[in-house]
Amino acid sequence: MQLEVSVLTDAGGRPRNEDAYGFWSGGGGCFCVVSDGAGGHGAGDIASKLAVRVVLASFQDDPRCSGDAITAALANAHRAILSEQAQAGALSGMRATATVLAIDTVHHLAAWGHVGDTRLYCFRANHIVAQTKDHSVVQRLVDAGYLKPTATRDSTERSRLFAALGHDGENSASVGATDFVIQGGDAFLLCSDGFWEYVEEPAMESALAKAVSAADWLRIMEEQVRANGGAEQDNFSALAVWCSDLDHASLTPKAP
């Protein structure tokens, strides 16, 4: 299994970029994470960077592509952020969302999990076959039939979350597919809300069909984010993984 990984991040119209991302390959696996911080006074970027660092360190200690390993990694990040909150008053309100993808490059399997509204999409034959569901109040209202699905992008309340790393109480991570069998040509997209808000799912699929590489795919979508976002557009970040049928893994990141 060969993997092509490309990444991008941008502050958008904000003075500070509170998004963070990272990936690590080892132990027969590739592990990717995108995080979006919040809390003000510089706390958001601290929270997101801490989440990424702790999640990847967890997989370095336990490089398994499993729901249990993802749950443990996100729980470790949750505890690390709570610990930082307790040590500095200025950081007491910091939170972070996170989405994690784990790929077993030996057995061609994937698993993923998330907290908050940073999303993961899985594509096959240029179409979305799976995606995470936001831990947001608006998403709950959509699920209950009170709002249309478009509300996850259109509602002024769409950013109200009921789960995040560093939120009071227990870690509320959701694990999606485990032992998802990867086929050649599959693709994954991990992205913060500042990205997916301005690129709707049909546009993601259309861009994928046109792209010649993971980096090209992100470039096409980035153009749409910039065209559709306003002057005060939120930070936006994305990490793309393309999978192909070869016997070794090759990571080729694009510099942000």
**Tens-digit pLDDT profile for residues 152-197:** 888 888 788 989 999 877 767 899 888 999 999 999 999 999 999 9
Compute the distance between CA of residue 222 and CA of residue 236 in angstroms, rounded to an integer. Answer: 9
Q: How far is CA 10 from CA 19, 116, 222, in A?
A: 8, 20, 10
Q: How far is CA 212 from CA 105, 179, 245, 251, in A?
A: 22, 28, 16, 16
**Tens-digit pLDDT profile for residues 69-128:** 999 999 999 999 999 998 877 788 899 999 999 999 999 999 999 999 999 999 999 999
The pLDDT of residue 68 is 95
Evaluate whether 98 touches 74 at the Cβ level (below 8 Å): yes
CATH architecture of 2-229+236-244: 4-Layer Sandwich (3.60)
Going by C-alpha positions, the residue among 73, 14, 77 that lies closest to residue 42 is 14
The pLDDT of residue 167 is 87
Q: What is the mean pLDDT of the segment spanning 26-39? A: 94
DSSP string, 52-81: HHHHHHHHHHS---SHHHHHHHHHHHHHHH
Amino acid letter, 184: G
The pLDDT of residue 248 is 40
For the chain, what is the radius of gyration of the CA atoms? Answer: 17
Question: Taking the model in full, what pTM does it have?
Answer: 0.92
Compute the distance between CA of residue 51 and CA of residue 114 in angstroms, rounded to an integer. Answer: 12
* Phi, psi (deg, nearest 5) at residue 127: -125, 145
Q: Which residues contact 160 (CB under 8 A, 6 or more apart)?
A: 136, 137, 138
Evaluate whether 136 touches 126 at the Cβ level (below 8 Å): no
